[in-house]
Amino acid sequence: MSIVDVKQIVENKKVKLKREILDLRDKGIVPKLAVILANDSDASRVYVGRKRKLCHELGIEETEYLFDEKVTTDNILKVITKLNNDPEVDGILVQLPLFKHLDESRIIDSIVPEKDVDGFSAINVGRLYQGKDEIVPCTPKGVLTILKELEPELKGKNAVVVGRSQIVGKPMAALLLNENMTVTICHSATTNLPEHTRTADVLVVATGIPHLIKENMVKEGAIVIDVGMTRVKEKLVGDVDTENVEKVAKYVTPVPGGVGLTTVYSLAENVVEIAKNRKK
């Protein structure tokens, strides 16, 4: 029934975050993010460019460490050790995926948990499952921000997450569980997907399969969050057939101009939360 104005939600939140950054800077703390990019895909460059641009706009310092395919796991581990020990660096972000020859989990787990701004390291994943949402992965965190704007009472409602990636599906499910929702995770081996999706008061879809979710798979009045973003003939297409799903859902997030905006915003929020701990 209504396409969510995610841009407006983010713009409103940015005002408050900017103020918090100004307060920190007044106290001599300049929040700082280090970004490691070791992948030559255009999409990764675009995502990193957006993250850096928002940091710049908000007053967060950022530095990029750009590597070509000759880089080794050890080269990156050395840079991370230096950043781990630099008191002026708050957050360290390793853009995924990495070049295939690199050891992704060794690299991610070498970031000290306090600076793991994406919340991807084993320690932070474990903390999320313990219900201590300290540093939460940016995409699920952004989805929760949108949900809280749309629905004040998530507790007790049915959430269905379609997709079980480390970056979105699994942490999303943990986060919704921490909100006391009843959570179902569906994935590529789920039989009869529509039977599950039709139970969802909140449906979060992160599969990368364009227009997977059709009108007959959605409960009347549901909130549908589309995390998918696939380039089809030069157009960005989500996982939800929005034009038709809109007829039954209460809210649907758009693609583009939806969850992508809150992901980038949540990263800035995470950097600021870490920088606040510097004071202590």
In contact, 6 and 22? CB cutoff 8 Å: no
Structure tokens at 169: 């599906």
34, 76, 80, 167: which one binds ligand GUN (CB under 6 A): 167
CB of 66 to ligand GUN, least distance (A): 14
95 counts as binding ligand GUN under rule CB under 6 A: yes
- Bridge partners (DSSP) of residue 223 are 202, 251
Lookup: tokens for 103 = 């050891």
Helix or strand (DSSP H, E) at 100: none
Marked catalytic residue, from 32, 90, 116, 118: 118
Minimal distance, residue 65 CB to ligand GUN, in Å = 13
110 binds ligand GUN per the rule CB under 6 A: no
3-class secondary structure, 98 = coil
Cβ at position 35, least distance to ligand GUN in Å: 9
Residues 4, 224 contacting (CB under 8 angstroms): no
Interface with ligand GUN, residue 102, by CB under 6 A: no
By CB under 6 A, is residue 118 in contact with ligand GUN? yes
Which one of the spans 61-69, 83-91, 94-102, 220-228 is the region binding ligand GUN (CB under 6 A)?
94-102
Distance of CA 91 to the CA centre of its chain: 15
Say how many C-beta atoms besides its own lie within 10 A of residue 110's C-beta: 21
Tokens at 132, concatenated: 């201590």
State yes or no: residue 138 binds ligand GUN (CB under 6 A).
yes
Q: Is 96 in the site for ligand GUN (CB under 6 A)?
A: yes
CA pair distance 225, 156, nearest whole angstrom: 18
Which span (3-11, 87-95, 193-201, 216-224) binds ligand GUN, by CB under 6 A? Answer: 87-95
Residues that bind ligand GUN (CB under 6 A): 93-96, 118, 138-139, 167, 263
